[in-house]
Amino acid sequence: MNAWEPHLRPALAELTAYDVPPADASFARLHANECPEPWPEACVERIVEAVRRVELGRYPDTSGREVRALLGRIHGCDPNRIILGNGSDEIIGILMTALSGSGAPLVIPRPTFVMYAHMARVLDIPVREVDLDEDFELDEAAMRRALDGAAICFLARPNNPTASLWDPALIRRLVADFPSTVFVIDEAYGAYAPGQSMFDADAPDNQVHMATLSKVAGAALRLGWCIATPPLAAALDKVRHPYNVSATTLAIAGVILGELRDVQTAMVQAALARRDRLSALLARLPGAKVFPSGGNMVLARLSSHDEPARLARHLAERGVLIKDVSRQPRLAGCIRVSLGTADELDRLEAGIASFLTA
């Protein structure tokens, strides 16, 4: 052992780094929950113009005021309630750091986005995981038991990796009945469930809205944000590192959220229009159970526990990447497949056809 190792947080010994090798662009990348639509060339040129004006030798705005103003207009709220982060992951860390003062636990459903539990364990925050029911819906009674004395609860809606769109009335009851718990409604995939957002500028002060550009044609930018009640936003701003979002990201995000917003919406809608086809393709696998999706992914349980790995290998050999999630809790036999372009789904269809005849 190195002499300095005793200073490491003990929890780190049990964790692994979140590291995914970059995917070859020649593959059909249906494993990463991105928006597959390419930006039109005219939009790319407009983005390039914005980047050209960035002064690379100067610091960015400490808190991204122009982008926060745009988001304030989009959401209809005071920009001072908005905190920007280097992707949603940083926002998750900021929220947990700010709200860990009492030592009270974090509550999350299981399965859900892995970074909630990962970050909590890095920070030595106790984690209470509540299993979803057989249909991947929230178990209200179990949630209520777990929320007793909790500091924070993350609810991804739609959820990753199940694509579940949980009952908003149930969530509102929990928010109302547990006022000392901060509920973070993570709507990273909200654009794929039009009209279903739970954002409310007048929501109770223990409800936080979280969103990101990562799933709506802006994954490379790493821009996430949350909207919180003013006292909580002020506390989060004390935790947030200054200059945490680069000037290039702020410049591009300003163009996307401003003049290109309609184009971005159309790109998401084009991807969403192919969700039914993706579900139908997965349903061709014998014995597969395809779950309803409110996101930009579809979850399917295959007929045997070893089939996800075999299918993933078979497709990868043919240039198609999907996500084998069968080793995650409660997801035995499951695969998760993201929305793709028409060409990518053609390649998936051919790969499934060859798998069935292999």
What confidence score (pLDDT) does residue 24 get?
87
Q: What is the pLDDT of residue 78?
A: 98
Phi, psi of 79 (to 5 degrees): -55, -25
pTM for this entry: 0.96
What is the distance between the alpha carbons of residues 328 and 114, in angstroms, rounded to a whole number? 10
Please give the structure tokens belonging to residue 279.
């579900």
User: Residue 208: helix, strand or coil by DSSP?
Assistant: strand
Query: According to DSSP H, which parts of 178-302 are helical?
Result: 230-239, 247-257, 261-272, 275-283
Whether the Cβ atoms of residue 64 and residue 245 lie closer than 8 Å to each other: yes
CA distance 147 to 101: 17
Could you read off the pLDDT tens digit of each residue along the chain, which spans 358 residues?
A: 899 999 999 999 999 998 888 888 899 999 999 999 999 999 999 999 999 999 999 999 999 999 999 999 999 999 999 999 999 999 999 999 999 999 999 999 999 999 999 999 999 999 999 999 999 999 999 999 999 999 999 999 999 999 999 999 999 999 999 999 999 999 999 999 999 999 999 999 999 999 999 999 999 999 999 999 999 999 999 999 999 999 999 999 999 999 999 999 999 999 999 999 999 999 999 999 999 999 999 999 999 999 999 999 999 999 999 999 999 999 999 999 999 999 999 999 999 999 999 8
From 248, 250, 263, select the one nearest 41 (Cα to Cα). 263
Vertex 184: Cα angle to 203 and 255 (nearest 5): 85
Collapsing DSSP states into helix, strand and coil, what is residue 285? coil
Helix segments in the chain, DSSP class H: 41-52, 65-75, 87-98, 114-122, 140-147, 168-177, 230-239, 247-257, 261-272, 275-283, 307-316, 342-357
State the Cα–Cα distance between residues 322 and 103, nearest whole angstrom.
Answer: 38
Name the phi and psi angles at 205, rounded to 5.
Answer: -70, -10
CB contact set of 101 (below 8 Å; sequence gap of 6+): none
Chain segment 173-228, per-residue pLDDT in tens: 999 999 999 999 999 999 999 999 999 999 999 999 999 999 999 999 999 999 99
Nearest to 310, CA basis, from 333, 328, 330, 287: 333
For residue 337, the SS3 value is strand
How far, in Å, CA of 85 to CA of 80, rounded?
A: 14
Ordered domains of the chain (ranges, CATH): 24-39+269-357 (3.90.1150.10), 41-259 (3.40.640.10)
Which helix (H) or strand (E) segment holds residue 18: the answer is none
Neighbour tally for 329: CB within 10 Å: 12
Predicted local confidence at residue 358, as pLDDT: 81
Residues 297 and 331 sit within 8 Å (Cβ to Cβ)? no
Residue with the two structure tokens 């279903």: 196
Element (H, E) at 185: strand 182-186
| Predicted local distance difference test score (pLDDT) of residue 23 | 84
Sign of CA dihedral 199, 202, 204, 207: positive
Rounded to 10 degrees, the C-alpha dihedral 107/112/113/117 comes to 40
Q: Assign 186 to helix, strand or coil.
A: strand
C-alpha distances in angstroms, 243 versus 47, 153, 239? 21, 27, 12
Which residues, in sequence order, are CB contacts of 269 under 8 Å at separation 6+?
none
DSSP state of 158: S
